[in-house]
Structure 1
Amino acid sequence: MRGVWRFLAAAAALSPAIGASIPAQAQQRPDQQAFFGLYKELVETNTVVGQGSCTRAAQQLATRMKAAGYPASAVTVFSVPEHAEDGGIVVTLPGTDRAQGAMLLLGHLDVVAAKREDWVRDPFKLVEENGFYYARGTVDDKAMSAVWADTMIRFAQEKYRPKRTIKLALTCGEETTYAFNGADWLAKNRPELVRADFVLNEGGGGRLDAAGNRQALAVQVGEKAAQNFTLLATNPGGHSSAPTPENAIYELADAIRAVQGYEFPIKFTDTTRAFFTATSQALPAPVGPAIKRLLANPADREADAIVSRDKTLHSTLRTTCVATLVNAGHAENALPQRATANVNCRIFPGESVDGTLIKLQQLAAAKVKVTANQPVRPIAVPPPLDPKIMGPITTLAAKHFPKVPVVPMMSTGATDGVFFATLNMPVYGVPGIFLEPDLNGIHGLNERIRVSALYEGRDYLYDLAKTLSS
């Protein structure tokens, strides 16, 4: 999950502090107790790539699915020999009406690494304190993955017969760019397991204020593509006592400066146009009027300068590229023979990796070589603001979270949803689970989730899956 939750800070400005205060502790029903057992087991199974095992987590879920009544033919645990611990699971609940097609519930099992010595608590032991669950993955993404798995189990136990086929795919590798990615593998090698008319994924969510009041819900409708590029400068080098004008570090620095100074042009999708239109009506001068000017004329540089003071709004308007790693030289008393920098780009929907590479090559000039790093991830295709999807999302939000606005957004980060573009499957990051203003320690220390937010989000997502499948 990348760059999504920061966006809600801007979305919340549309209607700050709206909604009832969420109670500090959820009242557990019997079905919630059953969910907690699944959630706890999943969270406490270490699924850090290279350290733990997503395959073990998938096998545990498979056991639960079969115990709930799914035949073995409906449950697929997959991995490849060279990445035996990076497996995942696919489960299918057939629909009664083939004309209705299928929907895919998508989540990822892997989590970001967490060092015990840095955490207050053991990151792989679920602890409840002061109305919060603490552990790595309590939010990203084991909250949604556990909810989707639990939803499938409840459907089987209830003998629910959906009109639309429901598929569940929980995969590994989302958090690590160079890892084996289960979503990518399924789309390329077992598309029949996951092919669907649309996907419900992570990426949306809700934002609370410091007092626990609900502020906004966001639906992710489109995302940027993450792509890394390497800038390389090379020289013959020599003794540092006799410097020459040609210096790999200086040449690389000039190229980095050129990237820093370049602004990619403003673009709009249907989603970002809808978001900025709503935002322009809610934010005071000078930002609100400046957004209106950009909507009318994306080349308005003065308006761009005003809006782009907000880093989230700035990155939502365009492709962005930023230097993130630098490595140069081989000795303190030698001229550098080699200097490299990693430039991380978040590419706007509709633009391409090749087009971004060409622009970086132009900025870096002839002395610096620019290459696109492997793997080259696909570019996400913005899904439509389909009323058949957005309507139930909004209607059920009004039922579960009265008076909380629902805002469409484009993520400035990236999810595994990008891998389904080749199958022409629109992906929606659904709302439901509310987070704190500090983003709950996702990818950082002492990750946590409000207990009540988890269970209330579970109820919403269950209703959403049932509504869209019926």
Structure 2
Amino acid sequence: MKHGGQLLAGAAALAGVMVGGVAAAQDAPLRPDQAAFRALYKELVETDSSITTGSCTLLADKVEKHLRAAGYGDADITRFAVPDHPKEGGLVVILPGTSKTLKPILLLGHLDVVVAKREDWTRNPYEFVEEGGYFYGRGASDMKAMDAIWIDMMARMKKEGVKNKRTLKLALTCGEETSWAFNGAQYLANNKRDLIDAEFALNEGGGGRTSGSGGKVIVQNMHVGEKTVVNYRIEATNPGGHSSIPIPDNAIYELSDALVKLRAFDFPLMLNDTTKAFFAKAGPARGGDMGKAMVTIATAPIGSPESKAAEALLNTDRSYHSMLRTTCVATLLDGGHANNALPQRAGANVNCRIFPGVPAEDVRATLAKVIADPKMTVKQVDDRGPLAKSPPLTPFIVGPAERLVAKYYPGVPLVPVMSTGATDGIYLEAVGIPSYGPPGLYGDPDGSGAHGLNERAIVKAVYTGREFLNELVTEYANK
């Protein structure tokens, strides 16, 4: 196809020689399509779309101009927002396919970023800087590189008259980074379900990891499922009194006792298809005793001596410990009302990341049982969304990704992973649209500064990831 001709033929020129699974740095000048993509990416990063100082709506306006310049019209573009959140709007754009029977593919991206303060950063967070093999700027990795890839892909396909079998839909939303914001993905799922209807969605959460500092790519991940985020408040109350005549019955002491119990408690081991596949495939690559334990946990019956021994070792790694169960941790404290008074109230926020399929009420009941103090209350105060559902690992989804990982990153395993964090895919899965985070992009194991200082993306990862994801979407759209 014309689309595949220019972009995919350039993949070899981009990659040059493959070094340890990583494309060698590109010495040649950027191709025209790469230069246009870089300019788009730069514009996205340099537009502040944080919830406090920026505007997703402004960035959506700029994206709409790009799409209209590519040939999309009123019938193809839908803008959305709500009156009480005018700066948190988004858009949906549709590229029709030729098939009347194959369901569409939805590309999802959030435009918002975590706020960044200039005085804390080495560089201006809202200035796009290329330096030392990295792109720097707020959103450079989370997730404006992927946003730029999706927008660039949709624009070029329209300009070049590409006719895929499946319709492609792109939804760019706000609110993913802030629990109290207007969440565009949730709004679309609940109010515009037909607009975003798709067989499946491609979203953030996947991608690879290097050995460190932009080095060798050691793994590529397919994000399949995630935990549910729920907050609970545990609270002790007391009549209080004068501090000059203390008694053991003290709300702060009771709260402290409860938190000590929670610290010592582990939710039981749980596994699903995604985590079993992760440990089974990542174990051999890890090697050593930890690698053996990873394989054992995926294969031995839960509760067997082998499983218990493997679990004990895996629990020493905080990431593996979290993947194997629901976790809860105290994150905020408050209590008392005066220096010279016995506390009448003391409370704590407990932030839980709930394993897919476990009801939030079951977790609340477990917390109350562990605390075992009838004088204390345990209440659910909020949640980030619906109960998490893990999408199926099907050959249709995994097969093309595996082939392209072998092509672009020879010798690097593709490993499915369940996120212990959260994405907007949870809202899609709740209405029957499975959401996957594809491989292709990659970053350093320290998180590349996402949500923190001096956020960055590896230059060659962005360009190679663009080629990879264009080829992956093209294959999905024509299967």
What is the TM-score when the length of structure 1 is the normalising length?
A: 0.93
Residue 33 of structure 1, CA deviation: 0.9
Paired with 1:290 and 1:452, the residues of 2 have a C-alpha distance of 34
Matched, 1:55 2:63: no
Of the three residues 172, 181, 189, the one matched with 2:174 is 172
Task: Give, in whole Å, the separation in 1 of the partners of 2:432 and 2:153.
Answer: 25
Matched, 1:463 2:471: yes
Q: Aligned ranges for residues 188-267 of structure 1 at < 5 Å?
A: 188-210=190-212, 212-267=215-270
**1:114-146: CA deviation from partner (whole Å, max 9, x where unpaired):** 111101111111112122111100010111111
In structure 2, how many angstroms separate the alpha carbons of the residues matched to 1:452 and 1:284? 28
- Counterpart for residue 448 of structure 1: 456
For residue 293 of structure 1, report the CA deviation from its aligned partner.
4.4
Find the counterpart in structure 2 of residue 4 from structure 1.
Answer: none
Going from structure 1 to structure 2, the CA distance change for 1:26 and 1:85 (only over 3 Å counts) comes to farther
Which stretch shifts more, 296-305 or 130-139? Answer: 296-305
Q: Which moved more, 1:232-241 or 1:25-34?
A: 25-34
Q: C-alpha distance in 2, partners of 1:261/1:381? A: 28
- 1:146 is matched with 148
Contact 1:234–1:248, Cα closer than 8 Å, also in 2? yes
The answer on 1:321 being equivalent to 2:328 is yes
Q: CA deviation at 1:289?
A: 3.9
How far apart, CA to CA, are the structure 2 residues paired with 1:286 and 1:89?
A: 49
CA distance in 2 between partners of 1:435 and 1:292 (Å) = 25
The residue aligned with 1:304 is 311
Residue identity in the other structure for 1:377: G
CA 1:362–1:27 in structure 2 vs 1: closer, same or farther (change >3 Å)? Answer: farther
2:231 is aligned with what amino acid? N
- CA displacement 1:82-104 (0-9 Å, x = unmatched): 00101111111111102111110
Alpha-carbon separation, structure 2, partners of 1:18 and 1:228: 43
1:341 maps onto 2:348 in alignment: yes
The amino acid of 1:298's aligned partner reads: I
Structure 1: gaps of 5 or more residues = 1-16
- 2:447 maps to 439
Q: Which runs of 5+ in 2 are unaligned?
A: 1-18
Change (3 A) 1:284 1:155: closer
Per-residue CA deviations over 1:273-294 (Å, capped at 9, x if unaligned) read 1111223434445334434543
Tell me the secondary structure at the aligned position of residue 192 of structure 1. coil
Of the three residues 48, 69, 72, the one matched with 1:70 is: 72
Kindly state the Cα deviation for residue 62 of structure 1 after the two structures are TM-superposed.
0.8
Give deviations 1:38-91, integer Å, cap 9, x for gaps. Answer: 111111111111321001111111111111001111111211000010111111
SS at match of 1:410: strand
Between 1:206-215 and 1:181-190, the stretch displaced more is 206-215
- Aligned position for 2:16: none
Q: 1:429 aligns with which of 419, 433, 437?
A: 437
C-alpha contact 2:108 2:201 (8 A) present in aligned 1: yes
| Compared CA separation, residues 282 and 38, structure 1 to 2 (3 A) | closer
Q: 1:5 — aligned with what? A: none
| Distance apart, 1:421 and its partner CA | 2.1
Number of aligned positions between the proteins: 454
Aligned partner of residue 75 in structure 2, secondary structure: helix
Contact 1:239 1:335 in 2 (8 A): yes
1:47-196 to structure 2, matched below 5 A, reads: 47-196=49-198
**What is the DSSP-based 3-state SS (H/G/I as helix, E as strand, rest coil) of the residue aligned with 1:199?**
strand
22, 25, 43: which one aligns with 1:23: 25
Q: Distance in 2 between matches of 1:293 and 1:132?
A: 38
Letter in 1 for 2:414: V
Q: Which amino acid aligns with 1:79?
A: A
Secondary structure of 2:187 counterpart? helix
Q: Is the CA contact 2:389–2:430 (under 8 Å) kept in the aligned structure 1?
A: no
1:435 & 1:114 partners in 2: Cα distance? 20
Q: Which amino acid aligns with 1:334?
A: A
Call closer, same or farther: CA 1:133–1:437 in 2, change over 3 Å.
same
One-letter amino acid matched to 1:437: P
Measured at CA, do residues 284 and 451 of structure 1 come closer, stay the same or move farther in structure 2, by a change above 3 Å? closer
2: CA distance, partners of 1:213 / 1:282: 14
Q: Say whether 1:386 aligns with 2:373.
A: no
Distance 1:197 1:134, change over 3 A: same
Which residue identity lines up with residue 64 of structure 2 in the other structure? A
- Aligned match of 1:415: 423
Q: Which residue of 1 aligns with 2:7?
A: none
Q: 1:128–1:285: structure 2 CA closer, same or farther, 3 Å change rule?
A: closer
Tell me the secondary structure at the aligned position of residue 85 of structure 1. strand
Going from structure 1 to structure 2, the CA distance change for 1:375 and 1:81 (only over 3 Å counts) comes to farther
Q: Structure 1 stretch 164-173 or stretch 321-330: which is displaced more?
A: 321-330
Asked whether the 8 Å contact 1:19–1:402 carries over to 2, the reply is yes
Amino acid at match of 2:239: P
1:22–1:453 Cα contact (<8 Å) kept: no
Identity of aligned residues (%): 49
Counterpart residue type for residue 312 of structure 2? A
1:61 is paired with a residue whose SS is: helix
Give the AA of the match of 1:108.
H
The more displaced of 258-267 and 279-288 is: 279-288
CA distance in 2, matches of 1:244, 1:88: 57
Distance 1:210 1:50, change over 3 A: closer
Aligned twin of 2:281: 278
Change (3 A) 1:306 1:78: same
Q: Is the 8 A contact 1:316 1:410 kept in 2?
A: yes
Q: CA deviation at 1:27?
A: 4.4
- CA 80–309 in structure 1, closer or farther in 2 if over 3 Å, else same: same
* Distance change (3 Å), C-alpha of 1:126 and 1:25: farther
**1:380-400: CA deviations, max 9, x gaps?**
211111111111111122222
- For the residue of structure 1 that corresponds to 2:195, the secondary structure is helix
